[in-house]
């Protein structure tokens, strides 16, 4: 890891810790690039029977990790190479892409919360040992905030509540239709896709706030 | 042109006309993909001395057009192929890309109003007859609304005023820091880059409104 990257990471951690101690209402942001969650069955098809993902790095949400393994996605109009697999395996395979990625593939991904895959389009997934033709599972993830039960109480929001979130700076905006997910297993973080993050001029570790209306 | 596309265009025109007659406060949106405006000097370098751009289609702003000609942009980390030239030629060359494009090139474009190119990064531009090394001119265009003097009066906004704009739907949001440009030569339209448009779930011809605060 480069020294610069290390300093950036340490700084982000220190700021998060200070925010926690100060009982700050700031929420750190993470931008999600295109990725795929696989079922064990599809992982077997793509990488061989009984395959186990190799952890590249932990993600902020406890237990979640970016795997070393990548796949290729094919749609009617194009290909997305080097799409990262996120682990652990799930009950159903889910592909999360941006609207821009969708144009490249020739698939219009509907904006959906994670797991809500009914009537979504599919695509072809290519791994080193096989190919899976997904009937559905391609979505554009609805922007959302993960928070612990403790943070839910602190922010006075319920699981599945829809809130507005304000971002500052030169590309300041207020995101509406932000889904709140509260669980003892979650860690405070807002997830946006790359296009949403870029539209707001946000980078990983920047902070946003829930907008309280009068 | 496909029948479907024709119907879409006619519908958009009819809606615009109705909005005008009804004195609607709705503003149509146009999403700008990466593009370049060239000076005659740089056009000469790239396409040969005295070259004239060929019109592909008119743009919404009077006199502006998309040219048939394209160039290649090269940055320290990558290449953007098939970047459309917009005409007519200008006093200075200006490259407009998204933040995502910037990552691909390895250039971080600052968010700037059109024409404000001091201390911006450059890139290499490749044409069929030559290469130009831009010292500066690469920006991420600040989101803005073009409006006629008449529309300026109707919306009660001045040239260079900064306003907020509300977009509805599943990816509803309020854009802050939206620059208003009023000129007798402009036609009512909000310009966003592709990432901003996708982040808001907007397509060309969708409508947004200026947010009036109490």
Q: What is the pLDDT of residues A138-192, one digit of tens each?
A: 999 999 999 999 999 999 999 999 999 999 989 999 999 999 999 999 999 999 9
Structure confidence at residue B15 (pLDDT): 63
CB A181 within 8 Å of CB A160: yes
Q: What is the pLDDT of residues B160-208, one digit of tens each?
A: 999 999 999 899 999 999 999 999 999 999 999 999 999 999 999 999 9
> What number of C-beta contacts closer than 8 Å exist between A and B?
59
Asked if residue A6 has pLDDT above 90, the reply is: no
Burial degree of A115 (CB within 10 A; 0-12, 13-18, 19+): exposed
Is domain A23-31+143-211 in CATH 2.40.40.20, yes or no?
yes
- Give me chain B's average pLDDT, please: 93
Q: How confident is the model at residue A108 (pLDDT cuts 50, 70, 90)?
A: very high
**Spatial CB neighbours of B140, under 8 Å, sequence gap ≥ 6:** B96, B97, B98, B99, B102, B109, B110, B111, B112, B193
CA atoms within a 13 Å half-sphere pointing along the CA-CB vector of B197: 22
Q: What is the pLDDT of residues B2-24, one digit of tens each?
A: 666 666 666 666 666 666 655 67
- pTM comes to 0.89
Chain-chain contact of A99 with B198 (C-beta, under 8 angstroms): yes
Q: Which of A99, A193, A201 to mutate to test the interface with B (most CBs of B within 10 A)?
A: A99
Asked if residue A39 has pLDDT above 70, the reply is: yes
CATH 2.40.40.20 domain locations along chain A: 23-31+143-211
Structure confidence at residue A24 (pLDDT): 75
Q: Which of B195, B197, B201, B203 to mutate to test the interface with A (most CBs of A within 10 A)?
A: B195
If you average pLDDT over residues B95-108, what whole number do you get? 98
Q: What is the ipTM of this complex?
A: 0.87
- Chain B hits for A177, CB-CB cut-off 8 Å, are 170-173
């Amino acid at each position: 890891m480069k020294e610069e990257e290390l300093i950036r990471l340490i700084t982000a951690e220190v700021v998060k810790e200070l925010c926690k101690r100060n009982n700050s209402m700031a929420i750190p942001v993470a931008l999600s690039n295109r990725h795929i969650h696989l079922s064990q069955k599809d992982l077997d098809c793509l990488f061989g029977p009984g395959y186990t993902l190799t952890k590249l790095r932990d993600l902020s949400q406890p237990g979640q990790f970016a795997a070393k393994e990548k796949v290729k996605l094919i749609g009617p109009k194009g290909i997305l190479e080097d799409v990262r697999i996120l682990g652990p395996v799930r009950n159903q395979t889910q592909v999360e892409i941006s609207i821009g990625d969708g144009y490249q593939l020739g698939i219009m991904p509907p904006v959906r919360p994670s797991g809500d895959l009914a009537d979504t389009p599919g695509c072809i997934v290519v791994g080193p040992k096989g190919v899976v033709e997904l009937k559905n599972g391609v979505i554009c993830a609805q922007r959302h905030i993960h928070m612990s039960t403790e943070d839910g109480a602190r922010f006075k929001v319920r699981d599945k509540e829809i809130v507005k979130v304000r971002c500052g700076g030169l590309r300041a905006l207020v995101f509406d239709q932000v889904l709140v997910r509260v669980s003892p297993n979650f860690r405070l973080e807002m997830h946006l896709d790359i296009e949403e993050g870029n539209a707001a001029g946000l980078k990983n570790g920047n902070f946003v706030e829930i907008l309280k209306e009068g």
